[in-house]
Structure 1
Amino acid sequence: MPENPRSAHPNSGPSCACGSPTRSGAPTLAPPVHDPTFMATGEHGIEQADIPAGSFLMGDSSGDENPGDGETPQHMVTLDAFRIDATTVTNSAFARFITQTGYRTDAETWKFSAVFHSAIQADLADIIGPVAEAPWWFGIHGADWAHPYGRNSSLDGLENHPVVHVSWNDANAYCEWAGRRLPTEAEWEYAARGGLAEAKYPWGDDEVDARRWRVNIFQGQFPQHNTGHDGWHTTAPVRSFEPNGFGLWQTVGNVWEWCQDWYDPTYYAFPPAMSPTGPDSGTVKVLRGGSYLCHASYCNRYRNSARSSNTIDSSMGNAGFRTVERSKSR
């Protein structure tokens, strides 16, 4: 599970996603074959937030951009009104999709996925080994959406946690079944800001501290020791902490969220002003929001404007998704 180097910046990590590996180039394993075409009959069941039409300044306003990520230049974007999930898709919601369709995720087809070293629940024989330049990630046979920490784990008690170990392919297949789509990167950032213009975080510009936990991120010394002072060592339930001004829960921290767009670090130089949908093509898809592994000393991407990316078949224990109501025009 080799890394996907993108930037020489010390905080960037392979493909970022707080150091998550890509699936590209995985040795000795044949790639999965997907033909997921479903009737839009799924029972989505996730609470919706109504996002008003409007304009906002997209991109880094605080000077915290990681070089190479392409968070600048800031640019004005105008969007139509849309409806988006108030939370990321939960394990229980994803389980309904699997039960009704029989779909197999990329992690299940590949028969392994990436698990953070301190969360592994697997027999020694299932441990493939660490990623070369991100040794806190281990390839684990049997890790998938229903076994998030390895073959010896389950979803007991995690029904209302975000589903993880889902690739962009998997998230898109769920959207087809539910008659929905993934948010564009611009929609995601506008919704995440919650109406606070140019704020660094969904709650404003105040930094995270132990007096008032606002987000599920890594505390302590990354990657060796997580104090868990925010109450969680891996994912938290989707309605933890406080929603933003639009009623969205945990747009930053907890899990990275797949977006519809192809990723290009130069895209902000000449973006459309009206409802941008990203480049026409690419090799990796956008991820937004950071995760429970983000830490200021390593991956400060738990910010509204932070960007990351990964290949469409990559899965890991800190990435999920939320969906948008599909309009007739899309």
Structure 2
Amino acid sequence: MSGPREGSNPGAGTGRSGSVALAAGRRSGHKVWILALLGLGVAAGLGGSYWYMKGRTPAAPVVVVGDGKNGPAGMVRVPGGEFLMGSDSKMAQANEKPAHKVRVHAFWMDQHHVTNAEFRKFVEATGYVSTAEKPPEWETLRVQLPPGTPRPPASAMVAGGMVFVGTSRPVPLQDYSRWWRYVPGADWRHPGGPGTSIKGKDDHPVVQVSYEDAEAYAKWAGKRLPTEAEWEFAARGGLEQATYAWGEKFTPDGKQMANVWQGQQNQPFPVVSPKAGGALGTSPVGTFPPNGYGLADMTGNAWQWVADWYRADQFRREASANRLIENPTGPTASWDPGEPGVPVDAPKRVTRGGSFLCNEDYCLSYRPSARRGTDPYNSMSHLGFRLVMDDSRWAEMRQQQPVAMARQP
């Protein structure tokens, strides 16, 4: 996204490798700058289905879930095909426009986010140490900062992650440093920082994971991150240009369809009640109805890393070709002029789907077309991932089934 939304675009140019807070209020045109180094006052996060298809009811797709023999276990078959990617609706941000024709091949996708239990299995098998558990490296940090920013002292380079802390009362929504904090000691085991844990949350999405962490898990599991086009095709669940992953109505028949702020929180964003334990946070995967392909939580719950580099104008570039785009894999580098103080070519990967913080007052990222760019070394308390697998890779794994099955979550 081109600006801070969902109280959350801490994503671009801040967050973990951005152990520096850069808050920019853009809605009112007022720009607020905060520049503080790790450990020296970092205080911001810059870091059944309902069917509708434009007046006609399509036939429900056949949901196929792999069982380890006739498809990878825990993955859902996404048939592939042609669709309109992006959106021209009044809700759409500039980076979602215009809607344009894309075709993707068939693939398998994790039925839900990678969970805490699944990520733990990977860590125990490999000894992997996540990005948030290591002090940030200056080379990954400086590319997200204005030229000439001095290097912080080694004592300030403290391992940790971005945590949504909320506010105790309503505040102007121009400065998201009010509700995000860089918290030393925050990681996937302690998503809210020291004193928090994932005990009893094995079936919740793993969060506080960077793009690097997601890639490492994917390699171990024999899978890969989805392309942005694959992710959006899957999220739509067979519904052409519907506003939500389940249709046109946010709460069809009064039913909550995703873990987002409205319907889950009594206070306006970003107000949380300390007595109630703060923001609701993630919910167990599969709490809400799946979409037409049988995929749970494609929007809401936790943002999801995808493979593509992020360009704010990528959809305009693809549409300008004036032809059907086959299996797009995104641009070769990042470009985002929408983050004041951050170099326009700072590395960013696409994140999709929104999270439990999404709300109608500040962001509408629980729509299949919504997108934003995030520092690949960023880890946050509302950011996770899910993976995909090609048919060719599944055929290879069948040939090596004893080893491959051992890695299946």
TM-score (norm 2): 0.66
Show the counterpart of 2:363: 299
Show the counterpart of 1:202: 245
What is the percent sequence identity of the aligned residues? 40
Between the aligned partners of 1:86 and 1:308, the Cα distance in structure 2 is 23
Kept in 1: contact 2:229–2:329 (CA 8 A): yes
Show the counterpart of 2:79: 52
TM-score (norm 1): 0.81
**1:269, CA displacement in angstroms?**
1.7
**1:211, CA displacement in angstroms?**
2.6
1:2-61 alpha-carbon deviations (Å, 9 max, x no partner): xxx944xx85766365998453354368xxxxxxxxxxxxxxx86111011210000114
Aligned pair 1:279/2:306, yes or no?
Answer: no
Show the counterpart of 2:96: 71
Q: Which amino acid aligns with 2:164?
A: F
Show the counterpart of 2:353: 289
Kept in 2: contact 1:15–1:22 (CA 8 A): no
- 1:174-213 matches, within 5 Å, as 174-208=217-251, 211-213=254-256
Q: Which amino acid aligns with 2:128?
A: Y
1:190-232 alpha-carbon deviations (Å, 9 max, x no partner): 00000011111111010248931111111330001479xxxx8
Kept in 2: contact 1:17–1:291 (CA 8 A): no
Aligned pair 1:83/2:77, yes or no?
Answer: no
**What is the DSSP-based 3-state SS (H/G/I as helix, E as strand, rest coil) of the residue aligned with 1:286?**
strand
**What is the DSSP-based 3-state SS (H/G/I as helix, E as strand, rest coil) of the residue aligned with 2:254?**
coil
Between the aligned partners of 2:286 and 2:187, the Cα distance in structure 1 is 23
Kept in 2: contact 1:11–1:66 (CA 8 A): no
**What is the DSSP-based 3-state SS (H/G/I as helix, E as strand, rest coil) of the residue aligned with 2:109?**
strand
Aligned pair 1:310/2:374, yes or no?
Answer: yes
**1:151, CA displacement in angstroms?**
1.4
1:246-300 alpha-carbon deviations (Å, 9 max, x no partner): 0000111100000000000111123270000000122100000000001100011
- Structure 2: stretches of 5+ with no match in the other structure: 21-36, 40-71, 136-158, 168-174, 319-323, 335-346, 394-409
Alpha-carbon distance change, 210 to 224 in structure 1, aligned in 2, over 3 angstroms: farther
Show the counterpart of 2:162: 114
**What is the DSSP-based 3-state SS (H/G/I as helix, E as strand, rest coil) of the residue aligned with 2:161?**
strand
Kept in 2: contact 1:116–1:317 (CA 8 A): yes
**1:158, CA displacement in angstroms?**
0.5
Q: Which amino acid aligns with 1:87?
A: H
**1:66, CA displacement in angstroms?**
2.2
Q: Which amino acid aligns with 1:245?
A: G
Between the aligned partners of 1:148 and 1:210, the Cα distance in structure 2 is 34
Q: Which amino acid aligns with 1:276?
A: P
Q: Which amino acid aligns with 1:62?
A: S
Aligned pair 1:253/2:300, yes or no?
Answer: yes
Between the aligned partners of 1:234 and 1:14, the Cα distance in structure 2 is 13
Moved more, 144-153 or 234-243: 144-153
Kept in 1: contact 2:237–2:245 (CA 8 A): yes
Q: Larger strand proportion, structure 1 or 2?
A: 1
**What is the DSSP-based 3-state SS (H/G/I as helix, E as strand, rest coil) of the residue aligned with 2:372?**
strand
Q: Larger helix proportion, structure 1 or 2?
A: 2
Alpha-carbon distance change, 71 to 22 in structure 1, aligned in 2, over 3 angstroms: farther
Larger Rg: 2
**1:133, CA displacement in angstroms?**
3.9
Between the aligned partners of 1:226 and 1:71, the Cα distance in structure 2 is 34
Q: How many residues align?
A: 292
Kept in 1: contact 2:2–2:312 (CA 8 A): no
Between the aligned partners of 1:46 and 1:286, the Cα distance in structure 2 is 26
- Structure 1: stretches of 5+ with no match in the other structure: 30-44, 120-131
1:131-189 alpha-carbon deviations (Å, 9 max, x no partner): x7432111111110011121112211100000000011110110111111100000000
Kept in 1: contact 2:6–2:363 (CA 8 A): yes
Alpha-carbon distance change, 179 to 269 in structure 1, aligned in 2, over 3 angstroms: same
Kept in 2: contact 1:182–1:323 (CA 8 A): yes
Kept in 1: contact 2:260–2:359 (CA 8 A): yes
Between the aligned partners of 1:154 and 1:22, the Cα distance in structure 2 is 19
Coordinate RMSD, CA, aligned:
2.8
Alpha-carbon distance change, 11 to 152 in structure 1, aligned in 2, over 3 angstroms: closer
Alpha-carbon distance change, 214 to 133 in structure 1, aligned in 2, over 3 angstroms: closer
Between the aligned partners of 2:359 and 2:83, the Cα distance in structure 1 is 27
Between the aligned partners of 2:290 and 2:13, the Cα distance in structure 1 is 27
Show the counterpart of 2:404: none
Q: Which amino acid aligns with 2:300?
A: G
